Structure 1
Amino acid sequence: MSSEVPDPTDIDAQSVEPVRIEDEMEQSYIDYAMSVIAGRALPDVRDGLKPVHRRILYAMNEMGITSNTSHRKCSSIVGETMGDYHPHGDRAIYDALVRMAQDFSMRYPLVDSQGNFGSMDGDPAAAMRYTEARMDSIAEELLEDLEKDTVDFSSNYDDRLQEPDVLPAAFPNLLVNGSSGIAVGMSTNIPPHNLGEVIDATIALIEDPEITVEGLMEHVKGPDFPTGANIVGRDAIYSAYATGRGRLRVRAEFEIEEWKNDRERIVITELPYQTNKARMVERIAEDVNDGEIEGISDLRDESDRDGVRVVVELKRGANTEVVKNRLLETHLERTFGVINLALVDGQPQVLTLKETLEEYVSHRREVVRRRSEYDLNEAEERAHILEGRLRALENVESVVELIRNSEDRSAAKTGLREEFDFSERQADHIVRMQLGSLTSMESTEIEEEYEEVQAEIEHLEAILGSEERLLEVITDELRAIKDEYDDDRRTSIVEDHGTVTHEDLIPEEDVFVVMTEDDYVKRMPIDSFDPQRRGGKGIIGADVKEDDRVATVFRANTHDYLLCFTNHGQVYQLKTYEIPEMSRTARGKSAVNILDLDKGENITAIVDTDAFEDDEYVTMATRDGYVKRTAGEEFDNILSTGIIAASLEEGDELVDVEVTDGTKDIVVATEGGMTIRFDEDEVRSMGRNARGVGGIKLEGDDAVAGLVATDEADDRALLTVTRNGYGKRTLLSEYRTQSRYGKGLIDIKTNDRNGPVTAVKAVTEDDHLVIMSEDGQIMRTRAGEISTVGRNTMGVTVMDVASDDAVASVDVIPGTSLEPEGDLEADVDVDADAGTEDETEPTIESEDDE
């Protein structure tokens, strides 16, 4: 006999139906999606349960594991549920059972547990063979009256048994315990609520079907999480209730305690819902070690069975408000995204608060109606039997004699029906009666029971005959549930007054920011430097280490958000208060955690973001004479690693930046003392990645030193300062407009005495200058101290720099931002003779070079 298995491809098919593969896959995927949506992931709006939770509770009910019985092994419960109702694996069933028992997951746990059922630290529950469970009493309220035909039943997966499609649910469990789940293409995330508040809102809806969401919110203040904590602001709660979607800010509960040695500590006692406490503590520690959070000396988790207690000890002198708000920004506040999605008549639907309660009331109306019909039928059946018994007692002797003379029980029943007009059920009951039930006392009890049953029938008929009476029953039962299980709200709702940020706690003041070529940075109050007369040596402004030099100094406000342009053509965003404040004699701190600068990359220009308005431009000049304009809006989103401001050719560097509005003239100055002035419109607007166009034609090894934006009405002067500390002021009106990319005009003589030009600035007499040397000397003087002369002059001493030192950077403090000053210090006047104007001007040339 052959043992070969027949090839299935050799078997002829009964029929073959051609199907497009895309149609088959589409239909199959839809079938799968609907199966997951309706059969696993989403709760029913009526009882708030997913199928797995409903089947667990029903299996426990069938097993007789109620709140009044002893606990049973969870493996037994899981086995019964999986074998009879939910054939999807024991792991999923046990996980669902565990969650129903966790008091930090469920606002009102439905399962009473015994053993290790996990913790807020993310610890898993023990294996199901070790743990035990039984139904909690509140879960029995969901199953109450299940045996009275209150809900529909369907066959289980193998048609052996029947299971309920939904539970009667004596309270709105969907809102009370919430739900979360991810289906195919949709998800639900419903927060838990306080039982008493939800019941009060349900009753209010029953009494006033036209009530608004605002009216319901007078009862339901907001979600009530099992872990407590605080919801920040009410607007998000209203949005969630009015639309079915919203984003709630949930903030930990904590308090600040005075501690030993004049130190303080932050004690966290409640955490946002679904926060892993152990992971949160671990991440705070990581941030402290990485320097992201400063001021924390120790961190301990002192939580126990009585509640959460995480202690954050602060260093002496630490700013408690800064630490607290930094913790809020990073760890102690979470967003809970509300998606009130549930199954309504088997279809997923996003529901408002009112719609959710309306669906529940509709369900309870049907449950109470069906229960009343069931009870009425039972009462009428009992009344019918009692009527027969009473009639038998009235004719007791004749009835007894008829039964005794009958051949058998069947003949007795027939005789009773014919002789006394009993129904078949009455005759059968009378035949089965014991002789002792014919006493006069028994007759009295039957009459009393009959009267009670008749009253019950009238009551049930009134309920079924009146919608108002039916709703009264629902309301009374809800109030009874509230009286039995209501408790105090755990989650507080606090107004959103905003958090105090680090910036809020920093005094708003003008400061000097100093950066060196080796990327050391610090800030110092401007008040640390009194104005001097020009020609002074200044005072120490930075202790520059050997082989390092000052690269730039600039003025800023501690609350400014600055765009920092570097010689490499990059731009970074900087908050001034993030720069450490240090003394004049300090070297500064490495800028690696503030600006991600490359080696050899230095800041060459600063722009305050407040300077930007609509239709403004960032105008840039490079060392090799290129000029470009880029719309200011392209610098709105600056990455932490910076973005490109200008593409540079090899060897070129970005030198200076100005904010213009399209109507300005641009003055470009070179290290060799040349300047050119041309209309801004000659440089068309271009993107950040562009190189730009020729602005000035350079001769020899000359290079651009800076640029200034001006216009015809500008009465300021052009300040030119050279490397050796000399400078002059010349009215901008003396620099006539030329075509772009010419050689320009002579501005200052750059001989051995002066050295090359270091910086050019537009100033008024009231402005103050901040001049810093490469070795860290800093000097502040009034611009009016420097004489106003013509072009092509030698200039005067501005700062007395040592022979081995040089001017590194010049910045301007606008006179309008200064308080009235007293007498100037250090009256050191080392004027040099001013030269005469050069009567000849270089030839103007122009060509376009993008």
Structure 2
Amino acid sequence: MTQSEIFQDLPLEEVIGDRFGRYSKYIIQDRALPDARDGLKPVQRRILYAMFMEGNTHDKPFRKSAKTVGNVIGNYHPHGDSSVYEAMVRMSQDWKARHMLIEMHGNNGSVDGDPPAAMRYTEARLSSIAAQMLRDIQKDTVDLVPNFDDQDLEPTVLPSRFPNLLVNGSTGISAGYATDIPPHNLAEVLDAVLMRLKNPQATVQELMQVLHGPDFPTGGIIQGIDGIKKAYETGKGKIIVRAKAEIEKLKGAKEQIVITEIPYDVNKANLVKKMDEMRLDKRLDGIAEVRDESDRSGLRIVVELKKEISGEPILKYLLKNTDLQVTYNFNMIAIYNRRPTMMSLQMLLDAYIAHQKEIIVRRSRYDLDKANNRLHIVEGLMKALSILDEVIAAIRASKDKKDAKNNLQEKFGFTEIQAEAIVSLQLYRLTNTDITELRQEQKELEEKILELKSILESEKKLVSVLQKELKEVKKTFQEPRRSEIEEKIEEIKVDLDVLVPSEDVVVTVTSDGYVKRTSIRSYNASNGEDFAMKESDHLLYEAQLNTQHHVLAFTNKGHYIFLPVHELPDIRWKDLGQHISSIIPLDSEEKIINVEGVADFNTDQYVVSITKNGQIKRTALADFQVQRYNKPFKMMNLKKDDLIIASGIADSGAEVYLTSYLSYAIRFKLDEVPVAGIRTAGVKAMNLLDGDMVKAANIIPPNHKGKVMIVTERGGVKKMALDEVETGNRALRGVLTLRELKKQPHRIYTVVYVEKGEGIQIITENGLKEDLREENYSLSERYSNVSYVIDVKTDGFISHILKLSAKEENPK
């Protein structure tokens, strides 16, 4: 091993921790977060400084952007050219910056997200307001540090003669920190600075009398003054930004929505595309056409509606479901004293004021030194003019310039600086008329020195200078506010009746989870026959609903699925439906056990769920209504080995009739079950023996006149009156409903509640179908046994049982 090769044995976590720590510190301080004083990130500051030093200012012609990018990379920012050019372009985009710091000729991108032209095609220069960012920078107002190769100097901060951080805002993501500061109105921000100067204790409430809130370059409507106030107090807060839209009436009972301003940072092309997709998907049936009519005169998006469709509910739906309305979250983090800091409004204003005071103090010192030096020279020149002949004679008698300077200092008492000025004087200046100019300059310099000393000695004088300069900037650059501010956040209530055309359809759901809606025309054309499904599948739900209704599907794992009927796939009666897992993600082991159609959630009805381990839960139907429905929702907390065997909608005053595997039955009023919220467990419904479980659950309607049909696993059936099981309390074991045989006792397959004319259809594994109407069976007592309907040895075991309605002969 050579002398130069030295290896260190260090733990990996120590090395990685150290390297990532250094990297994070660099990202936070020197790349992604803005400085609280000038509101700029290092790359932005370097671009502005490089353009200023090159004389690429607003009063000079435009120059190629590539020249500036090369200059920035070569002298100040040794990174990729694309990152520099992107930062440069962003500062020139009038939909991103409230006051552009760079003016650009050529394609600098668009609000549609189009990329800018390459930097070799575009030209740029500093804007007039950018001159205020760099004003007095050559008067030692800010610290200059060596650049990356120590060949030049660059500023650590710009003088920033207006509060750029608040005016243009900032956004950035670094290691562990992110910032989102919205743009504001220049005049309002300067008024807030002036108020804070006048009253350093001014509260957010007082400051908001002049600084009302953000002012986005794209305009729009801001809602939520409380969110603005909270953000100004804490650095974090939420507001709603909404597009500006009007509803215009056209000829022939038609309307159109015209959007003239969109929320900040929203891509217009994507927004128009999303609205048009809603028209194509028929999620919004009332839209005839979506057009982008934006041109040089301004933004204009037109949503043309179909005849006799009202614009108000369509607009509400678009606001709720597209980026016509977005949430903006303040996160006011900036670099303050070299640290990332969550800034309140007062902290931001105070940081800016302290910076400006330092700028004025440093500028005044610089100007004072210059004025003193010049006064010293002027006094020397005046003295020289008063003894001009002696001075000329002394200079003529000298050998060279150095000797002449020495002679002037020795003979007449001039200082070296004065002597240098005298020997450098041009001959034409040696006239008597110049003494008056010198006296005038002396007087002006003395007044200037007094003024500068008063600024440096008096805080009050310094503040008055700052106030005057801020007012000048305000007068020159103020613009009217673009964003409107509304106090409250308006809750958008979408009226589905208007958005979804009313149409009666047949909704079907199969046991395997295939779902569809079918037009009445397609259903009638098939006479309700030839329904498409797999051989092993059977129909779980079939009902005529309206497209404005909803469907609730309940699963055995304690979830429910919320589906608006109009969003179900529209499929012909003779075609296979779409599997529900392609609409809502569902666990492969999870099965749908029941489906209910709901016309109105605000009724005195409940969803009742019963588990195999004897738990029951009652929840108000209104709790099942949701706004977003892209996943299954929890409706009952289950223990690990438990499953839901029945779930459905029940009216108040209904009864619950449960039967266990060992044929115990219990009957009680639904009101015995307390009403619980969605995400809770149930209460005990039935006290089960070891090895027993609930096999059948029936919700008996109030004023019932029905019976129950009991089916055993061995294919036995009997009809029994409900009153054989008396109404009692829940959580009991119940009474036996079959005679217990010593050999091969019957076990319950299911129990079905039927009314007059109804019945059941038993389907076996071998495909046998047996229709059993209730009127064909006489009533049996509780202790009686069953009569056999099928022989499981030859016909196969029962696979499932369907309920037959009074009119139905052959269920699908």
**SS at 1:313 equivalent:** strand
User: Given the alignment, which residue of 94, 99, 104 partners 1:103?
Assistant: 94
2: CA distance, partners of 1:76 / 1:291:
52
On the 8 A contact 1:417/1:423 being kept in 2, the answer is yes
Alpha-carbon separation, structure 1, partners of 2:695 and 2:401:
127
Per-residue deviation, residues 244-276 of structure 1 (Å, max 9, x unmatched): 112221111111111232111111111111111
RMSD after superposition: 5.1
Aligned twin of 1:628? 615
- Distance change (3 Å), C-alpha of 1:690 and 1:72: farther
Mapped partners of 1:201, 1:478: distance in 2: 11
Q: Which secondary structure state, in structure 2, belongs to the residue aligned with residue 104 of structure 1?
A: coil
| Paired position in structure 2 for 1:565 | 554
Which of 531, 539, 546 is matched with 2:529 structurally?
546
Q: Following the alignment from structure 1 to structure 2, what is the Cα–Cα distance between the partners of residues 16 and 434?
A: 69
Q: Distance in 2 between matches of 1:281 and 1:251?
A: 15
| Gaps in structure 1 of 5+ consecutive residues | 1-9, 525-540, 581-585, 710-715, 747-755, 762-770, 775-803, 808-831, 844-850
Q: How does 1:508-523 map to 2 (within 5 A)?
A: none
Change (3 A) 1:653 1:551: farther
Verify the 8 A CA contact 2:607 2:650 in the aligned structure 1: yes
Kept after mapping to 2: 8 A contact 1:178/1:191: yes
The Cα of 1:394 is off from its aligned counterpart by 2.3
TM-score, normalised to structure 2, is 0.75
CA contact (8 A) 2:247 2:312 kept: no
- Match among 676, 700, 706 for residue 720 of structure 1: 706
Closer, same or farther: CA 760–209 of 1 in aligned 2, 3 Å: farther
SS at match of 2:91: helix
**Contact 2:313/2:495 (CA < 8 Å) preserved in 1?**
no
Residue matched to 1:72: 63
Amino acid at match of 2:446: Q
1:284 corresponds to: 275
What's the CA shift for 1:230? 1.4
Q: Secondary structure at the match of 1:48?
A: coil
For residue 198 of structure 1, what is the aligned residue in structure 2? 189
Structure with greater contact order relative to length (CA < 8 Å, sep ≥ 6): 1
Name the SS for the 1:109 alignment partner.
Answer: coil
Q: Which residue of 1 aligns with 2:29?
A: 38
CA contact (8 A) 1:141 1:171 kept: yes
Indicate conservation of the 8 Å contact 1:514/1:550, yes or no: no
Whether 2:396 is the aligned partner of 1:375: answer: no
Look up the match of 1:801.
Answer: none
The whole-number CA distance in structure 1 between the counterparts of 2:314 and 2:363 is 59
Deviations 1:202-251 (A, max 9, x none): 11111110001111111111111111111122111112111111222111
For the structure 1 residues 641 and 384, does the alpha-carbon distance in structure 2 shift closer, same or farther, using more than 3 Å as the test?
A: closer
C-alpha distance in structure 2 between counterparts of 1:806 and 1:664, whole Å: 24
Residue number among 728, 736, 739 corresponding to 1:743 in the alignment = 736
SS at match of 1:189: strand
Q: Deviations over 1:704-760 (max 9, x none)?
A: 471359xxxxxx75442689xxx99989995456952533499xxxxxxxxx99647
Of residues 111, 129, 138, the one that matches 2:120 is 129
Aligned-residue offset at 1:669: 7.4
Identity of aligned residues (%): 35
Partners of 2:545 and 2:705 in 1: how far apart? 17
3-state SS, counterpart of residue 239 of structure 1: helix
CA distance in 1, matches of 2:553, 2:409: 107
Q: What is aligned with 1:233?
A: 224
8 A Cα contact 1:193 1:223, kept in partner: yes
**Per-residue CA distance 1:573-628 (angstroms, 9 max, x = gap):** 54889699xxxxx99xx999999699996745689977999xx9944278xxx743
The change in CA–CA distance for 1:46 and 1:658 in structure 2 (over 3 A counts) is same
- Corresponding position: 1:676 with 2:666: yes
* Residue 184 of structure 1, CA deviation: 1.2
- Of 266, 271, 286 in structure 2, the residue corresponding to residue 275 of structure 1 is 266
Q: Separation in 2 of the partners of 1:656 and 1:66?
A: 75
| Pairwise CA distance, 1:422 | 1.6
Equivalent position of 1:449 in the other structure? 441
Structure 1 CA distance for aligned equivalents of residues 782 and 686 of structure 2: 27
1:822 counterpart residue number: none
1:265-664 equivalences in 2 (<5 Å): 265-331=256-322, 332-496=324-488, 498-503=490-495, 545-546=528-529, 551=541, 564-565=553-554, 571-574=559-562, 603=594, 618-620=608-610, 627-630=614-617, 640-642=630-632, 654-655=645-646, 657=648
After TM superposition, the structure 1 stretch with the greater mean CA deviation from structure 2, 404-413 or 118-127, is 404-413
Q: Which moved more, 1:20-29 or 1:391-400?
A: 391-400
1:821 corresponds to: none
TM-score using structure 1 length: 0.72
Query: CA offset at residue 675 of structure 1?
Result: 6.1
Distance 1:840 1:459, change over 3 A: closer
Query: 2: CA distance between counterparts of 1:740 and 1:471?
Result: 87
Three-state SS of the structure 1 residue aligned to 2:706 is strand
Contact 1:669–1:707 (Cα < 8 Å) also in 2: no
After TM superposition, give the deviation of residue 298 of structure 1 in Å. Answer: 0.7
Deviations 1:100-158 (A, max 9, x none): 11111111111111111111111111111111111111111111111100011111111
Contact 1:513 1:555 in 2 (8 A): yes
111, 116, 128: which one aligns with 2:107: 116
- Taking a change above 3 Å as real, the CA distance of residues 218 and 392 of structure 1, as seen in their structure-2 partners, is same
Q: Does 1:89 align with 2:80?
A: yes
Q: Distance in 1 between matches of 2:358 and 2:192?
A: 19
TM-superposed CA distance for 1:460, in Å, is: 0.3
Structure 1 residues 92, 506: CA separation in 2 closer, same or farther (over 3 Å shift)? closer
SS in 1 for 2:114: coil
Q: Is the 8 A contact 1:717 1:729 kept in 2?
A: no
* Per-residue deviation, residues 615-659 of structure 1 (Å, max 9, x unmatched): x9944278xxx74325869998996454687999xxx99455478
1:667-694: CA deviation from partner (whole Å, max 9, x where unpaired): 3379xx99633699999x9998999978
How far apart are 1:324 and its partner, in Å? 0.8
**Counterpart position of 2:766:** none
Which residue number in structure 1 is paired with residue 792 of structure 2? none
The residue identity in structure 2 corresponding to 1:323 is I
Higher mean C-alpha displacement, 132-141 vs 259-268: 259-268
* Structure 1 residues 694 and 294: CA distance shift in structure 2, 3 A: farther
Contact 1:73 1:128 in 2 (8 A): yes
- Secondary structure class of the residue paired with 1:399: helix
- Which residue pairs with 1:752 in the alignment? none
Say how many residue pairs are matched.
714
Deviations 1:319-376 (A, max 9, x none): 4222111111122111222211111121111101110110011111101000000000
Q: Distance in 2 between matches of 1:433 and 1:196?
A: 49
Which range moved further: 495-504 or 39-48? Answer: 495-504
Q: Give me the whole-angstrom Cα distance separating, in 1, the residues matched to 2:167 and 2:429.
A: 50
Q: Which residue of 2 aligns with 1:60?
A: 51
SS of 2:464 mapped into structure 1: helix
3-state secondary structure, aligned to 2:736: coil
1:181 maps to 172
